[in-house]
Amino acid sequence: MNHRLEAGLATVLLYGAMAGVLIFFYVPIFTLIAFSFQEGRYLTLPFDGFSLKWYGELFRSAPALDALWNSALIAVAATLFATVIGSMAAIVAVRYRFNGKRMFLALIGTPLAFPQLLLGIVLLLWFSVLGRWFGFNNGVVTAIIGHVVYIAPFVTVIVAVQVASFDPVLEDAARDCGASIWEVYRYITIPLLWPGIFSAALFAFLLSWGNFYITYSLAGSTRTLPTFIFSGISIGSTPLYPAIATIVFIPGILLVMLANRFRLRAQKL
């Protein structure tokens, strides 16, 4: 009887905690979605009325569209570089044994636990000094480099899981059949690691797309969506910003679902 009481209590506790956490996570998200339909200019309740007016406003706002374009550009470039560099590091980290491996792992792993703002500032100093010597300004390129430094270790961790479950005998077999190193990668290694690489790339894209701290430090006068929103909300805002948020949520949830499907397929292999 006592055990059944305990089991019941445990169930209530676990379900309650999970429900509580999920509600907690979605309070600000649903608040933003709700406020994007406010008709009036001010972000206060009760609403003056419901309308899609601010969505129309959004697509006429040049700075907002500019920020959208910059976000996309930086995210695509950062994803590409971070995925290639991070995936190769994952193979090295899981499959090879070599001198200085511990140092290698420490070097590629530290940015994971490094506060982003500080990483941004440290890089800002670096690029400012280099920029003065070599005559360049901070902008899209420095932002991309900053994103890659921060995101490549995440890619490494995700791809490493896939590499660990990958049977190297398959590569040996292909090699025994006369495949060149390149052919082994092209037809065996990359296709088998693809689910992991792909979900890592999606994750990298999302991390870059939503990044505030590093972009804020490194993008110079270039604005991406997060920094555009930050500068907007500190002045005093209109429902334009919740409308941007809602627009951004849609590709976000779709990409997360896609990444999850790939992760599941990766586990089955």
Partner 1 sequence: MEPEIARSWRDPELLIKALPSVLLQTTCFLAPLLMTFILTFQRTRDFQLRWTWDLATWIEIFSKPHYWTILIHTLVMASVCVVICILLALPAAYGLATRFKRIENEIKILITFAFITDATLKTFGWVLFLDKKGGANFMLSYLGFPPEMVAFLFTDWATLLGMVYNLLPFAIFTIYLSIDSIDRSLILAAQDAGAGKFRAHWEVTLPLCKPGIWAGSVLIFLLGVGVFLEPKVLGGGKSPMAAELIRQTFETRVNWPLGAALTLVLMVVAVFVVLLISRISGMRRAGL
Q: How many CB atoms lie within 10 A of CB 171?
A: 18
Instruction: Select from 64, 86, 240, 262 the one that contacts partner 1 (CB under 8 A).
Output: 86
CB of 6 to partner 1, least distance (A): 5
CB of 163 to partner 1, least distance (A): 10
Burial degree of 66 (CB within 10 A; 0-12, 13-18, 19+): middle
Among candidate residues 224, 188, 185, 178, the one with its CA nearest the CA of residue 77: 224
Instruction: Select from 50, 59, 95, 187 the one that contacts partner 1 (CB under 8 A).
Output: 95
Site for partner 1 in 179-208 (CB under 8 A): 181, 203, 206-207
CB of 81 to partner 1, least distance (A): 9
| Stretch in the footprint of partner 1 (CB under 8 A) among 58-66, 122-130, 133-141, 187-195 | 122-130
Q: How many CB atoms lie within 10 A of CB 121?
A: 16
**Cα–Cα distance for residue pair 68/74, rounded to 1 Å:** 10
Among candidate residues 229, 201, 203, 202, the one with its CA nearest the CA of residue 215: 229
By CB under 8 A, residue 152 contacts partner 1: yes
50 DSSP β-pair partners = 38
| Stretch in the footprint of partner 1 (CB under 8 A) among 51-59, 60-68, 96-104, 188-196 | 96-104
CB of 237 to partner 1, least distance (A): 8
Residues in the interface with partner 1 (CB under 8 A) total 100
Instruction: Select from 76, 173, 190, 257 the one that contacts partner 1 (CB under 8 A).
Output: 257
- Report the half-sphere exposure of 202 (CA within 13 A, side-chain side): 18
CB of 86 to partner 1, least distance (A): 7
Q: Cβ neighbours of residue 161 under 8 Å, at least 6 residues apart?
A: 196, 266
| Stretch in the footprint of partner 1 (CB under 8 A) among 55-63, 72-80, 102-110, 186-194 | 102-110
**Cα–Cα distance for residue pair 105/114, rounded to 1 Å:** 15
Angular region, 137: left φ>0, alpha ψ -120 to 50, beta rest:
beta
Instruction: Select from 49, 56, 63, 115 the one that contacts partner 1 (CB under 8 A).
Output: 115
38 DSSP β-pair partners = 50
Site for partner 1 in 34-73 (CB under 8 A): 34-35, 43-46
CB of 96 to partner 1, least distance (A): 5
By CB under 8 A, residue 133 contacts partner 1: no
By CB under 8 A, residue 141 contacts partner 1: no
